[in-house]
Structure 1
């Protein structure tokens, strides 16, 4: 039976998180998170590493790939940072409504188109054999893949938050629905490097 193991990772902590810019890379903590993630994944026989085009995702991929010699690395718009669904705010908490209102009309069209293409590319079983791929991306897309795997209502991508360098693994097979194997796993990070990307004072 053919299967795909899709490893999803949120990029390491961004330097100056209060500033929105595609040119901002990783903080010192983010570099440490990515390097430790690479050690965690060393030896996994990945077919490829894919990453979003923003600098923080690119730098994370470079640090992880250093522990994966011979594995090809590709930048992909599908792994980028975008709105995965033009979610109707009706019935949602007001904070979610305000958040969704911040997206432009173009983002409401382009984002769902990219998300659909990403699901078609990464969220299916291969024709034959077993494939492992790593996608280094952003919080929204990981939430969308998890929601898709669980066949949850579309709006449930909202509220799924992920640690920087947290690891989520989903198995897609030909014999049944997707299996969520790991979610937001940060066992490779010491306590002082956990919680980045989550609410203040959050600890695990």
Structure 2
């Protein structure tokens, strides 16, 4: 079966503003995010991609533009199932403000039971993302062969949920996984089990330097929505 490369979109204006964007329109890459996207073609230069699939949201489409310009023959598909979590009434609100909501602790400690008001549950988000991956695996293998590699450009919580599924982790553990902006995660699928080849690879080790910032709260909370990455 194919190898899937999951790329989180580059850093966005919502990430740096500490806002949970969700499906809010008009959320673009910030200056650093644009630079991250511009570096993506070189990072993937040695990888023969059969296809690219993107979330319909602007920040993902902007992330893929330099790669598509470098590879004009690369087929591009849009799939709403790998779009951001529908955060409902939480969308567009400051993360610092949301951290005071009773639901925040559920999202952190027991996300399998979390459902966003006016939006979807974390379980539903994972289910649609994993369904999309499985269907694209079959399609890519059918059209390009079992050794094909393809790419999905999507969002932090989506990537974390797909990785949890690949590792056989309960959804309550998905907050232990991190995917920084424009990081690359690679999963090779086989008939019997997936193999996690890369996780949150940003192409350098700068993200390993201890820092204070938006990735985690004072209590070690996970970055809902993915966070802004290392400063």
- What is the TM-score of this pair, normalised by structure 2? 0.69
Please state how far the C-alpha of 1:66 moved relative to its aligned partner: 2.1
Q: Counterpart of 1:126?
A: 141
Q: Which structure 2 residue ranges, 5 or more long, are not aligned?
A: 87-102, 218-227
After superposition, where does 1:79-94 map in structure 2 within 5 Å?
79-82=82-85
For the Cα contact (< 8 Å) 1:42–1:67, is it kept in 2?
no
Give the deviation of 1:35 after TM superposition.
1.1
Q: Deviations over 1:48-104 (max 9, x none)?
A: 111111111110011222232310112210221016xxxxxxxxxx84316665713
Aligned mates of 1:64, 1:148 — CA distance in 2: 28
Q: Which residue is equivalent to 2:98?
A: none
Could you tell me whether the CA contact under 8 Å between 1:53 and 1:80 is conserved in 2?
yes
SS at 1:42's partner residue? Answer: coil
**Compared CA separation, residues 160 and 96, structure 1 to 2 (3 A):** farther
The answer to whether the 8 A contact 1:12-1:34 is kept is yes
Deviating 4+ runs (over 6 angstroms):
194-197
The answer to whether the Cα contact below 8 Å between 2:52 and 2:150 also exists between their aligned partners in 1 is yes
RMSD (Å), alpha carbons: 3.4
Given that 2:180 and 2:229 are in contact with CA atoms closer than 8 Å, whether structure 1 keeps it comes out as no
Residue 184 in structure 1 maps to residue 200 in structure 2 = yes
Deviation at 1:105, TM superposition (A): 5.3
Please identify which structure carries the higher helix content.
2
Which whole-Å CA distance do the structure 2 matches of 1:106 and 1:32 have between them?
A: 32
Provide the rounded CA distance (Å) in 1 between the counterparts of 2:27 and 2:42.
Answer: 24
Quick one: distance in 1 between partners of 2:126 and 2:25? Answer: 20
- The gaps in structure 1 that reach 5 residues or longer are 84-93
**Residue by residue, what CA displacement relative to the aligned partner does 1:144-192 show, whole Å, maximum 9, x if unpaired?**
1111111111222223221101110000123x311000111111x5849
**Counterparts of 1:164 and 1:53, CA distance in 2:** 17
Q: In the alignment, which residue of structure 2 is the partner of 1:40?
A: 43
What is the CA deviation profile of residues 89-143 of structure 1, one whole-angstrom value per residue up to 9, with x for unaligned ones? xxxxx84316665713551286355234224324569355312110000011111
What does residue 96 of structure 1 align with? 105
Partners of 1:118 and 1:129 in 2: CA distance? 17
- TM-score w.r.t. the length of structure 1 is 0.78
Contact 2:125 / 2:158 at 8 angstroms: preserved in 1? no
Question: How far 1:203 moved relative to its partner?
Answer: 5.2
Higher mean C-alpha deviation, range 17-26 or range 139-148: 17-26
